[in-house]
Amino acid sequence: MTALSEFKPGLEGVPATLSGISYVDGQKGILEYRGIGIEQLANQSTFLETSYLLIWGKLPTKEELVEFEHEIRYHRRIKYRIRDMMKCFPETGHPMDALQTSAAALGLFYSRRALDNPEYIREAVVRLLAKIPTMVAAFQLMRKGNDPVQPRDDLDYSANFLYMLKEREPDPIAARVFDVCLTLHAEHTINASTFSAMVTASTLTDPYAVVASAVGTLAGPLHGGANEEVLTMLEEIGSVENVGPYVDHLIATKSKIMGFGHRVYKVKDPRATILQQLGEQLFERFGHDEYYEIALELERVVADRLGEKGIYPNVDFYSGLVYRKLDIPSDLFTPIFAIARVSGWLAHWKEQITKNRIFRPTQIYTGSHNETYVPIHERTCAINLEAETL
């Protein structure tokens, strides 16, 4: 029997696996992918090169990267039956729900499970990395009554996604900033969606189901959905002068300040620092954002009020401002998070199946014992006194 003293709500701090994929030091603000600092990757790498690093455990040679990019470039299109299915989705549906359904549907077309076959694993990696952005962009256009834009083989990964959203070739600076955003969101140890992916993977199901389960987990506002809430918060604050009273009210009511605090980081998230720099690049190129000054004051006030508790900006705080300047609708922020995190999920899927043991945690039972079954004709209804009073 497990002792109650061993119970950790949310499994906080409980090691669930051995992994060589990424590393976080929350006290020092360090994030590494396969031992390489996130700052180096953001400045020098690309999202697809970083994805290769995460999934195959090493930086690719020039020839390996060219081949990998070529494979993904020519697997971007989705089958017309998936496209027709997506046309039947309600226009009011959230893009994350559309993405989860579409990702799962890929498994219907590529249902062969050969988890011991390196060729099958590579094909699954390529398909998911290539097709997920196409499905996100397609739903965005189809929910407005428009036909989806076909991918362009002459554009790189990030530029092609922005093109499919607007049917115009993006500014090179915008495409590069977006690519760095994907790199920053690609992986972050055993977070909720990654753990969901690992649990699903441990049953030895197909990788499309693994990604679909992770997408469903990412959709929650306590995980990937927080960046949408940050912009809503900035709009509610409205001006720099309102920041102090707004924060004081949230603190007094013990409400969450969206975009601040992290289960691991007790200093400013290194990804938030890079995203802030990316935002400033975009503002210089395309014009200032009225909410940026509010965000800066909000960061200062929260640090003053809550810094001693380790409450600082996380990755969600500045990402919404960056996506807003890229003219991306706010309800696509989390699907874009998913586009990036597919590489991390696949890295953990690949690592999990090489040393697999199905996840089967235990519990601490808190119910009663030796109850007697009561026949239905002898049962009485419990009266809801509160409802009766109302």
- Quick check: is 97 catalytic? no
CB 363 within 8 A of CB 240: no
Q: Give the integer Cα–Cα distance in Å for 27 and 264.
A: 8
Nearest Cα residue to 261 out of 269, 250, 253, 252? 269
Q: Give the integer Cα–Cα distance in Å for 105 and 88.
A: 14
Amino acid letter, residue 296: L
Nearest Cα residue to 345 out of 21, 39, 127, 101? 21
Q: Give the integer Cα–Cα distance in Å for 144 and 146.
A: 6
CB 176 within 8 A of CB 189: no
Long-range CB contact pairs, 238-243, < 8 A, 24+: 238/294, 239/294, 240/293, 240/294, 240/297, 243/294, 243/297, 243/298, 243/301
Q: Which one of 185, 262, 269, 289 is the catalytic residue?
A: 262
Q: Would you give the DSSP letter of residue 115? A: T
Pure H helices in the chain: 38-44, 47-56, 62-73, 80-87, 95-109, 118-142, 157-166, 172-185, 192-201, 207-218, 226-237, 243-252, 270-286, 290-306, 315-325, 333-354, 385-389
Q: Which one of 179, 206, 269, 316 is the catalytic residue?
A: 316
Q: Give the integer Cα–Cα distance in Å for 354 and 352.
A: 5
- Quick check: is 316 catalytic? yes
Question: Hey, which residues are catalytic here?
Answer: 262, 316
